Amino acid sequence: MPQITTPYYLIYEKRLLQNLKIIRHVRQVSGAKSVLALKCFSTWCVFGLMRKYMDGTTSSPLFEARLGHEKFGKEVHAYSVGFSGQDIKAVRKLADKVIFNSISQLGVYGADLRGLKLGLRVNPGISYSHFDLADPARKYSRLGVADKEKLMQVASLISGVMFHFNCENNDFVKFSAALDFIGHNYGDLLERMEWVSLGGGIAFTNDGYPLEKFCERLKVFSKKFGVQVYLEPGEAAITGCAELVTTVLDVVHNEVDIAIVDASTEAHMLDHLVYRTSAKIAYPGQGRFKVMIAGRSCLAGDVFGQYSLKTRLKTGSVVRIADAAGYTMVKKNWFNGLPMPGICVRRLDGTVDTVRKFGYKDFTNSLS
């Protein structure tokens, strides 16, 4: 057991390895390289394992690019919705590829980055997303260049393009149709490029995903246009590999039993609030005891979800919240001055490292 009190995130390297082996398989069969999307997962204490199976990292703004360079190594792709002049100066020393979000930024900074591979993000006008908030092709989207004609005019200034058009897409048929659309509409551009990134949001490490068909599609696409294909898995790289371990502090009753745990959606698993989804519970298992599990912040809607569990929760019960790796540790915050969950790793040999504890000093240091 870790030498730490709850709450803490617990990463299982064994589960991570299962995803990583799939990523390596895709690379071996299709030739598509995978760079980890740090915006999803920047917990660098497991990069030692991840770097053996992945080709590098892709970052949003500067600090992620630096983290990728310092802690992961290999290829560093730097993309940003908006670079500043200072970002560009720093990124020049860290990145292998710089991907601009707009033709105007390419125009302003492209010449300063001679020697690096430059790219542009394209908005193909199609997407797969269950959430408008995360839909890169939503109306008035600022993400990527939508004007094909203008893209063709600057094609000689870049060596690659990035299409990020999926969010939690586990539907291979729809992915395949979207790839056809991209090939059909951007084939003439792709033929002039050395590389293309198909972004993240493809759930290819999920159980039952038709992996061999996926590999074949990527391989054929790469050959047809003569491009190195990249994937930018965030969630797919770390899905299912961590839990948020909590303890029940109290059980109150208001029509239903409500167990209050020593963590919070708002502070520690924010996306459940943002996307209005329920957390999955890894422990206790399913059963007949109905309970709502809620966070300890003062936000009225700080609720993980409603469940039927094997045991009746009482003060002191341990609750393990599943799928706690992606978009959690990178988004945690000090709302309500709540204790921030530590970070623990169950290594491949079964030992558990407590790699980070946070305390009052971290709270005060994040403010002034």
Give the tokens for residue 365. Answer: 């240091």
Give the interface segment with ligand PLP, choosing from 10-18, 231-239, 258-266, 275-283 (CB under 6 A).
231-239
CB of 100 to ligand PLP, least distance (A): 12
Binding of ligand PLP by 32 (CB under 6 A): no
| Rg, the chain, Cα only | 22
Among 50, 189, 236, 260, binds ligand PLP (CB under 6 A): 236
> Do β-strands 352-356 and 342-346 pair in parallel, antiparallel, or remain unpaired?
antiparallel
- List of residues 6+ apart from 174 with CB closer than 8 A: 128
The helix or strand, by DSSP H or E, that contains position 363, with its residue range, turns out to be: helix 360-365
For residues 268 to 307, the per-residue mask of contacts with ligand PLP, x marking binding by CB under 6 A and - elsewhere, is: ----------------------------------------
Q: Is residue 95 involved in binding ligand PLP (CB under 6 A)? A: no
Q: Are 151 and 145 in contact (CB under 8 A)?
A: yes
**Closer CB to ligand PLP, 43 or 246, in the complex:** 43
Helix, strand or coil, per DSSP, at residue 359 = coil
With binding defined as CB under 6 A, does residue 26 bind ligand PLP?
no
Rounded Cα distance between 340 and 262, Å, is 10
Residue partners of 136: CB distance under 8 A and separation at least 6: 123, 127, 129, 143, 144, 164, 165, 167
Task: Specify the residue, 236 or 309, whose C-beta has the smaller distance to ligand PLP.
Answer: 236
Q: Does 233 bind ligand PLP (CB under 6 A)?
A: yes
Looking at beta carbons only, is 75 or 232 nearer to ligand PLP?
232
Binding track over 143-182 against ligand PLP, x by CB under 6 A: ---------------------x--x---------------
Does 196 bind ligand PLP (CB under 6 A)? Our answer is no
Binding segment toward ligand PLP, per CB under 6 A, in 21-29, 37-45, 176-184, 296-304: 37-45
Show Cβ contacts of residue 43 under 8 Å, excluding neighbours closer than 6 positions: 9, 11, 325, 329, 343
Nearer to ligand PLP by C-beta: 40 or 122?
40
Phi and psi of 31, rounded to 5°? 85, -5
By CB under 6 A, what part of segment 38-77 binds ligand PLP?
39-40
Distance CA 235, CA 277 (A): 16
Q: Does 199 engage in binding with ligand PLP (CB under 6 A)?
A: yes
- Rule CB under 6 A: is residue 234 a binding residue for ligand PLP? yes
DSSP state letter for 146? -
| 200 interacts with ligand PLP by CB under 6 A | yes
Stretch that binds ligand PLP, among 107-115, 229-237, 242-250, 308-316 (CB under 6 A): 229-237
Least separation, in Å, of the C-beta of 363 and ligand PLP?
28
Segment near ligand PLP (CB under 6 A); pick from 32-40, 68-76, 214-222, 347-355: 32-40
Q: Can residue 235 be called a binding residue for ligand PLP (CB under 6 A)?
A: yes
Strand partners, 256: 254
Q: Which of 68, 70, 71 is nearest to 79 (CA)?
A: 68
From CA 174, how far away is CA 63, in angstroms rounded?
34
Nearer to ligand PLP, 23 or 236 (CB): 236
Q: Is there a contact between 292 and 319 (Cβ–Cβ < 8 Å)?
A: no
Chain residues binding ligand PLP by CB under 6 A are 37, 39-40, 79, 164, 167, 199-201, 232-236
